[in-house]
Amino acid sequence: MRARRTAAATIGRHLREAGVSRREFLAFCSKLMVAAPFGLALTNVARAEDVAREVAKARRLSVVWLHFQDCTGCTESLLRTSQPDLSELILHLISLDYHETLMAAAGKDAERTLRAATVENPDPFVCVVEGSIPTRDQGVYMTLAGRPAVEVLHEVAGRAAAVIAIGSCASWGGIPSADPNPTGAVGVDALVTGKPIVNLPGCPPNPYTLLGTVLQFARFGTLPELDDERRPRFAYDRVIHDQCPRRAHFDAGRFAREFGDEGHRQGWCLYHLGCKGPDTHAPCSVMHFNEVVNAWPIGTGAPCIGCTERKVAFRVPMFQTVPIHDATPPDTYAPVEAPHGRRNLVAAGLAGVAGGWLLGAGYVASRAFKTTPGDQGVPTIPPPPTKKDGEA
């Protein structure tokens, strides 16, 4: 972590000087294309080489990362990215000039580092906020260097070129804002105005969503297309339910009813255990964490809690089901457990009479159409009766 930065160099130049191989760089660009197949200007190309060419032209953007009411889970998720690893992320793709968890400076040194990165730094920077901001009682529930978090946020965000709220807490309040919300916790967009703001909700969000957003701003000076909740459409344009690997079980009516039951062990749909996938916009079902297969809640057998939705997560009880908007099982296949009505004895008796009549008719017909050996099943028609003596 540096207090001052030299004149901003391009990412490509810095990568060459740092000895980062082209193979490693292309591997990262390939993963970025998977994370943002559309909706991101950087990845709106056909090949990873084209993405690498655009990223290499970008200036290394200064990032100032503030921590408020949080669990540091978003930072931990960032540290666990396998491509690029932490050193590449900090030293090569962006210039992380202030981050309370990662930097060595503390106390007065930390205050000087923050001032150098936000006041003395001549280059534009992006402010990344992790954690909700307490507002009740003049914000006394969290202070930094004796100042309320609200004051620090306004000061830093006011100088930033753009603000990115990473995680559900920074996006709309998250866990600290759950009822009864004793600290009056809110998200960044409830306090900051007049600045471009991007919300990356999730508990935590995928690190590549952050990197894609920051790199597009560094290269083109623009933000990705956002939805009504200020979320990038390239990552939040779909509900988890649409591309969930357990969707076929939902369509067939196969559900786990209890944790540990046969359906749960067989990997059936978790909807009846409270899964919020049908109401949650997030890329989790197609972008697992840390490039580990099934490293996401549903992949481990836990229902989605809807952490990207401000009206669902920490508002709707964890094991309560949510409405199905677009599909109701079974859509295509017969249900595993079809509903049964009460037995009707009269109907059963009538069905027995009808069945007996059909069996009797079949027997009579079979007697009328006999077959003889060698006829190969062709019916034998009896000859007409002969006249007896004396008959006219």
**pLDDT tens-digit series, residues 2-44:** 444 444 578 888 888 888 888 888 888 888 887 787 778 888 8
pLDDT band of 171, cuts 50, 70, 90: very high
Kindly state the greatest CA–CA separation across the chain.
139
Of 180, 183, 170, give the one whose Cα is nearest residue 71. Answer: 170
Contact 303, 222 (CB under 8 A): no
Report if residue 392 sits inside a domain: no
Kindly state the tokens that stand for 109: 């040194």
CA distance 233 to 162: 18
- Same domain? 112 vs 247: no
Peptide bond connecting 207 to the previous residue in cis, omega within 30 degrees of 0: no
- Same domain? 67 vs 108: yes
pLDDT cut 90: percent of the chain above it: 50
Report if residue 353 sits inside a domain: no
CA distance 15 to 268: 46
Report if residue 247 sits inside a domain: yes
The rounded radius of gyration (Å) of the Cα atoms in the chain is 33
Q: What is the pTM of this model?
A: 0.79
Report if residue 285 sits inside a domain: yes
- Same domain? 224 vs 323: no
CA distance 118 to 101: 18
**Is pLDDT at 264 greater than 80 in this prediction?**
yes
Q: Which amino acid is at 3?
A: A
What is the tally of structural domains in the chain?
Answer: 2
CATH number of domain containing 68: 3.40.50.700
Report if residue 357 sits inside a domain: no
Report if residue 277 sits inside a domain: yes
Of 205, 186, 178, 200, give the one whose Cα is nearest residue 317. Answer: 178
CA of residue 213 relative to chain centroid, distance: 16
CA of residue 75 relative to chain centroid, distance: 18
Alpha helix (H) ranges present in 93-230?
108-115, 149-159, 168-172, 207-220
- Same domain? 289 vs 305: yes
Contact 170, 188 (CB under 8 A): yes
Contact 206, 289 (CB under 8 A): yes
pLDDT band of 353, cuts 50, 70, 90: low
Tell which phi-psi region holds residue 349, choosing left (phi > 0), alpha (psi between -120 and 50) or beta: alpha
> Averaged over 87-99, what is the pLDDT?
78
123, exposed or middle or buried, with CB in 10 Å at 0-12, 13-18, 19+? Answer: middle
Kindly state the tokens that stand for 172: 């709309």
CATH number of domain containing 276: 4.10.480.10
- Same domain? 205 vs 244: no
Residue 287's domain comprises 238-328
Q: Which amino acid is at 365?
A: A
- Same domain? 257 vs 227: no
Domain boundary among 234, 254, 275: 234
Give the pLDDT of residue 42. 83
Listed in sequence order, the residues at least 6 apart from 344 whose beta carbon sits closer than 8 Å to its beta carbon are none
Axis crossing angle, helix 22-35 with helix 48-57, rounded to the nearest 10: 100
Domain boundary among 219, 234, 249: 234
CA distance 148 to 135: 9
CA separation (Å) from 154 to 25, 66, 295?
Answer: 36, 12, 36
Tell which phi-psi region holds residue 184, choosing left (phi > 0), alpha (psi between -120 and 50) or beta: left
- Same domain? 133 vs 275: no
Give the pLDDT of residue 331. 55
Contact 97, 41 (CB under 8 A): no
- Same domain? 198 vs 248: no
Give the pLDDT of residue 189. 95
pLDDT in tens, 132-163: 999 999 999 999 999 999 999 999 999 999 99
Domain boundary among 328, 355, 387: 328
Report if residue 30 sits inside a domain: yes
Contact 321, 274 (CB under 8 A): yes
- Same domain? 163 vs 304: no
- Same domain? 168 vs 306: no
- Same domain? 290 vs 155: no
> Averaged over 74-92, what is the pLDDT?
71
pLDDT in tens, 242-261: 889 999 999 999 999 999 99
Residue 97 belongs to what H/E stretch?
strand 95-99
Instruction: Map tokens 């409270």 to a residue.
Output: 274
DSSP letters of 254-273? -B--STTSHHHHTT-B-GGG
- Same domain? 214 vs 294: no
Report if residue 390 sits inside a domain: no
CB count, 10 Å around CB of 333? 13
Contact 234, 55 (CB under 8 A): no
